[in-house]
Amino acid sequence: MAEVAEVAEVAASRGRPGLRRVEQIMGTAISLDLADDLPAATLHELAEETFRWLRAVDARFSTYREDSEVRRFDRGELPLAGASAELRWVLERCADLWGATDGFFDAYATGRLDPSGYVKGWAAQVASDRLRAAGAVNHCVNAGGDVRVRGHSATGEPWRIGIRHPWDPAATCLVLTGTDLAVATSGVYERGQHVLDPRRGTPAPGLRSVTVVGADLGVADAYATAAVAMGRSGIGWLDRLPDHLHAVVTDDGRLLHSTRLPVTD
């Protein structure tokens, strides 16, 4: 695990219950905020399990490691029948999302299999599901900007989630609040042209960033990525998504969002 270079953990300091921990996994920072007032050993073990899972996902799905299952499958060295349940699940979901987004979410957009656009959110979603099942009902998982919150923060308030300002990495442009949200934001700002219109192979103009709020973080992330790829027509597409809310920043700097988006000051 060469990528796990930085680990920071803070447990129950200054009377604030819970535990906070950050690790570098999947080429990004993943942070965990456990807000339940549980024994320190329990919290530590929950965090251990969470990051063990995330590292295992990285090992299995990394497109940068030639020995990962995804790479072996993509090279044809591993038949589908021999693939893990996780890989088959991810492949099925990516196929579903390809259909649900009219092909704008495409795990094969680069010419080879790269399900990262779904995997990161999915991994965090599963981590959150497992934490809840284990009794840690108040937590926040942030996998490189994909956020899953449940319950309340350590202060007893609903979680407060900032949406990154698309032109200023140190600022936010919107603050959401809630007790059960999956929030994914996709933009053209950080990885440059990583969001391509898969039909034309060129970056789609129109939308600077898209935030999708729903119940499943993997789906929300894929939807946000697809909407950016659609360009301006992505706004209309987002409007017709059932069970999801959204916020959009256009190239000319306008912020639009669903009226029911849980925005706060």
**116 within 8 A of 140, measured Cβ to Cβ:** no
92 class by beta-carbon count within 10 Å (0-12 exposed, 13-18 middle, 19+ buried): exposed
Counts for the chain of helices (H) and strands (E), in that order: 6, 14
Q: Where are the alpha helices (DSSP H) in the chain?
A: 40-61, 69-74, 85-100, 116-133, 217-230, 233-239
Interaction mask 202-241, another protein, x per CB under 8 A: -------x-x--------------------xx-xxx-xx-
CB of 75 to another protein, least distance (A): 27
| Cβ nearer to another protein, comparing 65 with 160 | 160
Q: Give residues 18-57 in contact with another protein (rule: CB under 8 A).
A: 20, 22, 24, 27-29, 31, 33
Q: Give residues 131-150 in contact with another protein (rule: CB under 8 A).
A: 140, 142, 144-147, 149
Q: Is the dihedral of CA 141, 145, 149, 152 positive or negative?
A: positive
| Cβ nearer to another protein, comparing 72 with 194 | 194
**In the beta sheet, which residues pair with residue 211?**
185, 247
Q: Is residue 183 within the footprint of another protein (CB under 8 A)?
A: yes
Q: Which positions touch another protein (CB under 8 A)?
A: 6, 8, 10, 13-14, 16, 20, 22, 24, 27-29, 31, 33, 140, 142, 144-147, 149, 153, 159-176, 183-187, 190-191, 209, 211, 232-233, 235-237, 239-240, 249, 252-259, 265
